[in-house]
Amino acid sequence: MRITQQWPDPAADGDTLMLALHARRSAAAIDAWWQARGEAGLAVVLTGTDLYQDIQVDPQARRSLDLASRLVVLQELGLAALPPSLRPKARVILQSTSARMALSKGQRHLRAVMVGHLRAVKSPGTLFAAARLLGEQGDIRIDHVGAAQEPNLGEEASATARDCPGYRWLGALPHGRVRQLIQRAHLLVHASVMEGGAHVIMEALRSGTPVLASRVDGNVGMLGADYAGYFPHGDASALAKLLRQCRADQKSGPDAPGLLSHLVEQSRLRADLFTPQAERAALLKLVEELAA
């Protein structure tokens, strides 16, 4: 059996399957497959842009959903974003990443890291404002990783670094270096307005680093409804309050009860959902359904 991420030849053998990424961007390939074969063997994998933007406004994206035999969403609340009539053919497949050993993090400072290129959908402004609210609080350090894809946000990052001693903008870094920063951080901050299943969240969980995340469906679908580390999207005051609370808990000692230790335990339990073995089993089940 052959699986391809490219547009396969409709005349190829009948065991060929198509897994199309993005309902809108792959609309032409999805339509060509359907014209040649119907829905058989066709699955469409939906990202956050698909779920929370494109299928709401773009007729081609909506048509891709109708044509597919199976739909795949990458976090547990993705199903709720689909029209009810399409949910029976949708499957949740959580992505995976390798595990990293949790590193010694030290107690002199609370270290937080936010990872994501500087663009509006990632809400870097929330982090800038939180850093300013923390002001001269020198025992909370924030590292911000990502290239300035929107130049005005790069200017804001530079200004925040100039005005706030606890905030550093590191720009784009190699992936291995980013994972080391996540391993050494006490917390990952993820402030996005829209997500389909952020890879950096699973990298944090699989590195023993808990997350402070905006309460949007894409994040809740990965971390769970009862996770304690949410703040309202765009609410810098709430984010700063969570960081202060975690720092206060940290100063009480590694075994002291509090928000930080609770987040560590919740993250440890959640991490097992994002193993390569779990993703592989879910993909094989999808392939069996498509082949049938």
What digits encode the pLDDT tens for the residues 85-103? Answer: 999 999 999 999 999 988 8
Q: For the chain, how many residues are written? A: 292
Q: Note the pLDDT of residue 197.
A: 85
Tokens of 192: 């996005």
Q: Note the pLDDT of residue 132.
A: 97
* Partner residues linked to 20 by β-bridges: 44
Average pLDDT of every residue of the chain = 92
| Pair 32, 7: CB distance under 8 Å | yes
Q: Indicate the pTM of the whole model.
A: 0.90
Domains of the chain: 3-96+275-291 (3.40.50.2000), 110-274 (3.40.50.2000)
pLDDT tier at 14, thresholds 50, 70, 90: low
Model pLDDT for residues 61-73, shown as the tens digit of each residue: 999 999 999 999 9
In angstroms, the CA 249 to CA 243 distance is: 10
Buried-state track 66-101, b at ≥16 Cβ within 10 A, e below 16: ebbbbbbbbbbbbbebbeeeeeeebbebbbbbebbe
Q: Is 60 exceeded by the pLDDT of residue 29?
A: yes
Which one-letter amino acid corresponds to residue 208?
G
| Pair 116, 147: CB distance under 8 Å | no
CA distance from start to end of the chain: 12
Q: Is 50 exceeded by the pLDDT of residue 5?
A: no
Tokens of 28: 């032409």
Q: Note the pLDDT of residue 10.
A: 52
Q: Note the pLDDT of residue 4.
A: 43
Please report, to the nearest 10 degrees, the dihedral formed by the alpha carbons of residues 75, 130, 162, 118 taken in order.
20
Quick one: average pLDDT of 43-70?
A: 93
Model pLDDT for residues 207-219, shown as the tens digit of each residue: 999 999 999 999 9
Q: Note the pLDDT of residue 9.
A: 56
Computed on alpha carbons and rounded to an integer, the radius of gyration of the chain in Å comes to 21
Model pLDDT for residues 115-168, shown as the tens digit of each residue: 999 999 999 999 999 999 998 888 999 999 999 999 999 999 999 999 999 999
pLDDT tier at 12, thresholds 50, 70, 90: low
CA pseudo-torsion sign 257, 240, 217, 150: negative
Q: Note the pLDDT of residue 13.
A: 55
Q: Is 50 exceeded by the pLDDT of residue 32?
A: yes
Q: Is 80 exceeded by the pLDDT of residue 245?
A: yes
In degrees, rounded to 5, the angle at the alpha carbon of residue 132 between the alpha carbons of residues 131 and 133 is: 90
Quick one: average pLDDT of 257-272?
A: 94
In angstroms, the CA 19 to CA 3 distance is: 7
